[in-house]
Amino acid sequence: MKLRNIAIIAHVDHGKTTLVDKLLQQSGTFRENQRVEERAMDSNDLEKERGITILAKATSVVWQDTRVNIVDTPGHADFGGEVERILSMVDGVIVLVDAAEGPMPQTKFVVGKALKIGLRPIVAINKVDRPDARINEVVNEVFDLFAALDATDEQLDFPILYGSGRNGWMADSPDASPDVGLAPLFDLVLKHVPQARVEDGPFRMLGTLLEANPFLGRIITGRIASGTVKPNQSIKVLSRDGKVVETGRVSKILAFRGLERAPIDIGEAGDIVSIAGLLKGTVADTFCDPAVNEPIQAQPIDPPTVTMSFIVNDSPLAGTEGDKVTSRMIRDRLFKEAEGNVTLKIEEAADKDSFYVSGRGELQLSILIETMRREGFEIAVSRPRVVLEKDEAGEILEPVEEVVIDVDEEYSGVVVQKMSERKAEMIEMRPSGGNRLRLVFHAPTRGLIGYQGELMTDTRGTAIMNRLFKAYEAYKGEIAGRRNGVLISNDKGEAVAYAMWNLEDRGPMMIEPGAKVYQGMIVGEHNRENDLEVNVLKGKKLTNIRTTSKDEAVRLTPPIRMTLEKSLAWIQDDELMEVTPKSIRLRKIHLDPNERKRFERSKEALTG
C-alpha cells in the first residue's frame, strides 16, 4: 500500500487535535453510529482536564488507496522535545494557523525545526469563521515567518488551504461551501507530501516514543528506515554513540489503524510501527538487524533551562495521605520518566534524599508533579531555578526567552511596567486587531517564573502570554522577588476558626478552619515584608455566662486558593511545597524557628 507520513504542528489552542478528530471521522475510521469522545487523541486524564496535548501520538487513516500516518503534536514550548523527535518520523507537515491570532512563538519554533530538516509544509488557515479573522494578513505573516527562518524557494512555494477544523472542512478559498469536507486536505497531502522515504539495507528503526504497557512491557514507536521486521526476529539496540545496549527478540509488532493499534505480521520500511519485547532500548536508540553497526543519527534536543529539587517529604504529616514516600520509590519513578522524556535531566544529590530535576519550563515540571501525586506519591518540591552557564571568558550566562503578550490596550501600561521590573526588554509593540496590542519582549527566564498568575490578575484575565526559549545571554542582574512575608504556624494541631478570625488583620489566610497544621508550616501571607509566627490553634475562652453579643458568629474571609502552579511560583528559596495525593501545603525548609534563625545568621555572615 502507498504510504504518507505527516505531522500536524501548531501553537496551543489553534485546533490540531480537533482537526485530527474530523480527519478520522471523514476517512471512515469510525462507524456511522460509533460514539467518539471529543479530542479523541487526548487520551491522558490531565490532557482532557486542561484541554492541552502533552504527549505526541500517532494515528492512521486510509484515503483512496493510500495509508496516511498522522502525528498529533503538543503546542506548548515546554513539551517541544516531543515535537523535535517526531519530525524525524515524517515526510511532510501541516502547519495549522489561527485566522485571528496568526503565527505564534510555538509555531515559529517547530516550523524552524521542520524547515531545517528539509520538510515541505502545507499551510492550513484554521477558524476562518471567527468574527475577528484577518485571513490575508495572517497569510502574509506566515510567508514572512518562513522567509525569516531561511526557508528555501521550494519551501516558500507552499500550498494554502482555508477552513474550520471544528466544522470539518478545508478548501482552496475561505468562501467555499462547508459541504466540501476535508477531501481537499486529503488530496493535497497525497499530491504534495512525498511517498514515505525508504533506504536500502537490513532492518533499522530510530526509537521516537516510549511507553510502558501492562501486558507487553516496553513499547517503542518509530519509523522503519530500511528493511522489514517480523515477530520473533532477533534484533539489537545501538545507543547514539554506536555501543550495543542489548540484543533480543521482537515479541510483537503493532501498527496504527485508526485510534487502535493492531498486531501485524510484518513491518515494512517507511511505516510507523511500535515494537515490543526489548527491555532496555529507549528513545534516540537505533533498533536494527544484528548485522548493522552504524546507528541512525538522532536530532539533537535543546537543553533544559529550569531545575527544581524533589525531596523526600519529612514534614510531621508525612506518610498520612500517600503510600509512596521513600527515596527509592521517588528515584525509580523519576528515572523511569527520564527514559521516555529526553528533555528531562535527573541528578541524584549527595544525601540520596533529594533529586535535581531539570526541564524546559515550569509547566512541564508541574505536569510531572501532578502525575506523581495522582499515582500516590508524597514529595517536597523547591522553588524552580534557572540553569546558569558560563562562557569561555568566565561570564555567567542565563536563559532568555522571547515572550509574546496579546493584551487589551487599556492594560498594556501595567504589562510593560511589570515586565521591565523583571528585566525584560521590549522589542515590538503593534496592534493585533479588536483594540488589542501584541507586545514582544526578550526576558530572562528567572523573571518569568510566576508571572502568568500576576498577568492574569493585572489584565482581568484577558491577556494571552506565549514564551519560547531564545538563547543564553549575559546575566541581567538581581530581580526583586515576592515583597510580602508569610504567617507561620508555631504549633501542631487543627486550625481553629476563632484564632484565624483574630489574625485576619495580619494578612490573608491560605488554610480552611479544621486544616491540619504543624510548626513551620505557612498558613497565610503577611501584610508586611517580614515573616511572623502565629498561633492558629487558640480557641475562645469559654465561661458559663450566657451572652447575646454579636461576636459569637465568626465570619471568615475565604482563604487564598493555592494551586500547584501558583504555589511553585509563589514560594521563595527558603520555602518548600509539600505535595500529597490530597493536599498542597507550603512550609519553611527549616521547621524549627531556632534552626531558621541560625540559617539566616550564617547566610548573612556569608553575604556580609
Side-chain half-sphere exposure of 556, counting CA atoms within 13 A: 20
The answer to whether the CB of 186 falls within 8 A of the CB of 153 is: no
* Long-range contacts (CB closer than 8 Å, 24 or more residues apart) made by 215-219: 216/251, 216/252, 216/276, 216/277, 217/251, 217/276, 217/277, 217/279, 218/276, 218/278, 218/279, 218/281, 219/254, 219/274, 219/275, 219/276
15 carries a ligand binding annotation = yes
Instruction: Please give the distance of CA 273 from its chain centroid, rounded to a whole number.
Output: 25
* Spatial contact of 291 and 247, defined as CB atoms under 8 Å apart: no
Q: Is 127 annotated as a binding residue?
A: yes
Is 535 annotated in a binding site? The answer is no
CA distances from 490 to 472, 534, 589 (A): 43, 6, 14
Structure-block grid coordinates of residue 35:
460514539
- Residues 6 or more apart in contact with residue 534 via CB below 8 angstroms: 487, 488, 489, 490, 503, 506, 523, 524
3-class SS string, 203-264: CEEEEEEEEEECCCEEEEEEEEEECEECCCCEEEEECCCCCEEEEEECCEEEEEEECEEEEC
Has 247 been labeled as part of a binding site?
Answer: no
- Using an 8 Å Cβ cutoff, are 312 and 372 in contact? no
13 is in an annotated binding site: yes
* Residue bearing cell 532496555: 280
Distances from the Cα of 343 to the Cα of 11, 78, 201, angstroms: 19, 9, 31
Q: Which residues pair with 160 in a beta bridge?
A: 123
Q: Which of 367, 379, 310 shows the shortest CA–CA distance to 341? A: 367
| E strand or H helix that includes residue 357 | strand 354-359
d(CA 78, CA 97): 19
Residue from 114, 103, 12 nearest 54 by CA: 12
324 is in an annotated binding site: no
Residues written for the chain: 608
DSSP state of 192: H
Q: What are phi and psi of 494, to 5 degrees?
A: -115, 135
For residue 312, which phi and psi values (nearest 5 degrees)?
A: -60, 130
The secondary structure of residue 411, as a DSSP letter, is G
Distance of alpha carbon 381 from its chain centroid, rounded?
Answer: 18
- Binding site, by residue number, is 13-18, 126-129
Q: Which segments are annotated as binding site for GTP?
A: 13-18, 126-129
